[in-house]
Structure 1
Amino acid sequence: MRGEKMVSAKSNSLNQYIGRKFKSFFLIFLFLTSIIFIDINTVDYGIEGCEKNTFEITENSNKTNVTFIAFGDSQHWDPTNRQNDYQVEALNNFNEILSWKDAGYDELGDISDIRGVIMAGDITQNGRDGRVFSNDEYGEFIQRYGLCGNKQLKYPIYEGYGNHDYYEWHDIFYRIPQDHPVIDSVAVRNEYRSNLTNIAPGMDGHYSWEWDNIHFIQLNLAPSDIVPAYEEGGFRNPHNALTFMKNDLDEYVVGTDKKVVLIAHYGPWEWREWDETQIENLCNVIEEYKPYIIGYIHGHSHSTKVYNWCDITIFNSGSPYHEGGIHSSYNEDLRGRFTLFNILQNETEDLRLIAVDVSWSADNYSEGDIESLDLQMKEWEGFPYEENIPN
C-alpha cells in the first residue's frame, strides 16, 4: 500500500512536471508566433507623405510636353545597394551637369519638369521583405526610391514587379503561406500614385496613368494571361496582365487622340516561361490597337537598346545593376544607366519622341560630388533616338 502511494506521488509529480514544461513550451510558441506574425505584417510601403489618388480623370487641353525617365532592375540585395545609391544620385542631379544639348537637341535647352521615373521590374533580387531574419531587400528599395518623391529619390516612381520579385526559395515563412510580398507591394501602393486612371483588381498590381495626352500602362512581369506551371504557388504568375491591357485600352484610349506607352519587365523576346506563343499573341493584340501604341519600355536584360518589334519601337531602358558576372557583359563600357524621354507636340499637332541614354561611372566617385559620377549622354545602341509620330 505504501509502495503504491509512493508510485502515485511520483506519477503526479511527473505529470505536473510535464504539464509545466508543456505550458512553458506553449507560451514560448505563442510568443514566437506573435512575433513572427507582427514581423510578417509590419512592412513599410513608402507611402508616408503621399496622398491617396482620387481617380478624377480630367480632359487634357494642354499641348503635350512630357519629360520622364525609365530604367529597370534596381534588383536590391547586398551587392546592388551601393549601385542604387549611385543611380539615385544620378537621377536627382544629372540635369545639373547635362542638358538636351549634350544629346544634340540644342533647341530643347535645359532638362526640366521631369514628371517621374518608371521602373520596369525586378525591384529586388529575391523577393524578400525582411520577415523573420531574412534580408529586407524591399526595405532597401523603399529607403532609396520611396513613392511620391518622399525618400531619397526626388521624383515620383512608377515601379512594376519582375521575375526576381517572386519568392521562390525554401524559407518556410514565405513558402508555407505562399507569399510573394514584393509582388503584392505594387498593388498596395497603387492608390497613392498620382495621375492614375485605372488599377487592376485585387493584388494583380497593374495600373495606368496619364501625363498630358500620353497614356502609360504598367503591366509588371509580362503582358500575358498564361500562368506557368511551377512548384511554388503563384510563381511568375502574370496576373492577367494582357486582359488588363486590353480592357484599359478599350475604356480609356480607344476613340480618343491619346497615345500609349506600354511598360513590362520582359521585352518581346523568349525567356523561360515567356515563350514565343505568348509573344506572338501580344503582337496580335498590339495590331488591334496599332494607331494608339507608340512604344514599349522594358527591363530584364540590364542593358540599353532601341529596336523595332511588331512595328512599334522598343526601349530597353538600362539598369543600375551593371556590375558582377554576366551583367558586366551586357554593358561593355561598365556603366550604370537610365533612359531619358521627351514627347513633345509640334506645330502640326504631331508628336516628336526623343529618347536618350544617360550613363554614369562610380570608378572615381567622391561622395557628394556629382561631377565625379562622370555623367554622359552617349551614342549607344541606337541612342539618341528620335521619331515623329502622326497624331
Structure 2
Amino acid sequence: MTFFVLSDLHFGFGFPDDLNTLPANPLTQPVGLERDHQRVIAKMNGLAGQTYPPPLGGKVQMPRGLLLTGDLTEWGRVEEWQHFVAYYGLHGHEGLLKIPVFEGIGNHDRVHGPWVEQRVAERHGGRFYSWDWDDLHLVSLGEAPDDEGLAFLANDLAHYAADVPIVLYFHLALEGPWSTGNWFADGDFRNRLGKTIEKHRVIAIFHGHHHATGHYRWNGVDVYKPGAVKNSTHTFSVVHVTDSKMSVARYDYEANAWEWSDEKKLVAE
C-alpha cells in the first residue's frame, strides 16, 4: 500500500491581525501560506501514476491517505482550524485534498488550550487513535505520547502479534535539532516509549516540528522527517509498504522533483 506524510501546516501564519477581515472563501482567496497548501495538495492529488526515482523504480500507486504530524495551525484558533478543514477535509471529498486525512496536533495547536486537539478527537475518536490498512497497523500519538498516550499505545499494541508491522507518528522530535527543551524531552517519556515498543515490529516513526527533512535511527527504529509547509522545506513523503520491503521517497512540490529516497527489506532473504 501507499500513503503520504506531511507536517507543519501552520494555517494562520500570515493571517491579518483582524481575523474579521479574512475572506469568506479561503479556497478562492488564499491567505498566508494557503497558496503553498494549494500547490502541495494539487501535487498529492495528481501524483498517482508518476514514476518513482530510479533507485526505487515502478509507479506511485493511489494513496490510502495522508498522515499529518502536527502543527496544523499557528495559534490554535477557530478560524485557522476552519481553513485547515476547507483545504484538507477528512474523508477525501470535503476539501481540496482527494484522499482521507489522519491528523495529529503539534505544540502550536495547543498555544491557547486544547480546542484543536478536541476537534481532532471528535474526528478520529480520541486524542490518540489507531487503525489498520490491510496488515499494516498505524498509530497517531498527537504532539507526542504523554502518560495517557503511552498507556493507549501499550493497550493498543497488546492486541497485535509481535510480527505485525507498525507505523507510529507524532509531532515532537526524538533526536537532533529541536528535540530538547520541551515536556517530551525533559521527562522520561522517550525512554518509556522505547520500552513500550521494544517487543513489537515498528518499521517506521514519522515526526515533524523541525520544519526539515531527515532520516535517522532511534532505538533501532527508522525515523523520518517528511518536510513542512511553513518555511522552505517544501516536501512530503511518499511511503510504499509491501510484505517484503518498505520505501520512503520525498517529493519536492516546488521543484516538481524527487528529493530523496530510501528502501529497506522487511524480511530476511
TM-score grouping bracket, smaller chain normalisation: 0.7 to 0.9
TM-score, scaled relative to structure 1: 0.59
User: Stretches of 4+ moved more than 4 A in 1?
Assistant: none
Kindly name which structure, 1 or 2, has the bigger radius of gyration based on alpha carbons: 1
Q: Deviations over 1:225-265 (max 9, x none)?
A: 1xxxxxxxxxxxxxx111111110012x1x36421111111
Select which of 189, 209, 224 maps to 2:123. 189
Which residue of structure 1 lines up, in the alignment, with residue 7 of structure 2?
Answer: 72
- Matches of 2:72 and 2:183 in 1, distance apart? 19
SS at match of 2:158: helix
- Matches of 2:205 and 2:184 in 1, distance apart? 16
SS at match of 1:342: strand
Unaligned 5+ segments in structure 1 are 1-65, 130-135, 169-178, 191-198, 226-239, 323-327, 346-350, 362-373
SS at match of 1:274: helix
Q: Deviations over 1:187-243 (max 9, x none)?
A: 1111xxxxxxxx54xxxx211011111100000010121xxxxxxxxxxxxxx1111
TM-score, scaled relative to structure 2: 0.85
- 1:270-285 alignment runs, 5 A limit: 270-276=180-186, 277-285=188-196
Contact 2:48 2:62 in 1 (8 A): no
| Root-mean-square deviation over aligned CA pairs | 1.7
AA of the residue aligned to 1:122: D
Pair 1:104 & 2:39 matched: no
1:103 Cα deviation after fit? 4.4
Unaligned 5+ segments in structure 2 are 16-31
Q: Deviations over 1:307-351 (max 9, x none)?
A: 1011000011111212xxxxx4xx4xxxx1100000112xxxxx2
1:182 Cα deviation after fit? 0.9
Select which of 330, 339, 345 maps to 2:237. 339
Q: Deviations over 1:35-94 (max 9, x none)?
A: xxxxxxxxxxxxxxxxxxxxxxxxxxxxxxx10100111110133222212211121123
- 1:46-125 alignment runs, 5 A limit: 66-77=1-12, 78=15, 79-95=32-48, 98-100=50-52, 102-106=53-57, 109-125=58-74
- 1:368-383 alignment runs, 5 A limit: 374-379=255-260
Which residue of structure 2 lines up, in the alignment, with residue 213 of structure 1?
Answer: 135
Which residue of structure 2 lines up, in the alignment, with residue 27 of structure 1?
Answer: none
- Matches of 2:143 and 2:62 in 1, distance apart? 29
How many pairs are equivalent? Answer: 244
Q: Which has the higher contact order (CA 8 A, sep 6+)?
A: 2
- Matches of 2:168 and 2:191 in 1, distance apart? 16
SS at match of 1:296: strand
- Matches of 2:98 and 2:54 in 1, distance apart? 23
AA of the residue aligned to 1:244: F
Bigger fraction of residues in helix: 1
Question: Judging changes above 3 Å, is the alpha-carbon distance between structure 1 residues 285 and 257 closer, same or farther for their aligned structure 2 residues?
Answer: closer
Give the percent of matched residue pairs that are identical in Structure 1 and Structure 2.
Answer: 27
Contact 1:103 1:378 in 2 (8 A): no
Contact 1:298 1:316 in 2 (8 A): yes
Contact 2:171 2:208 in 1 (8 A): yes
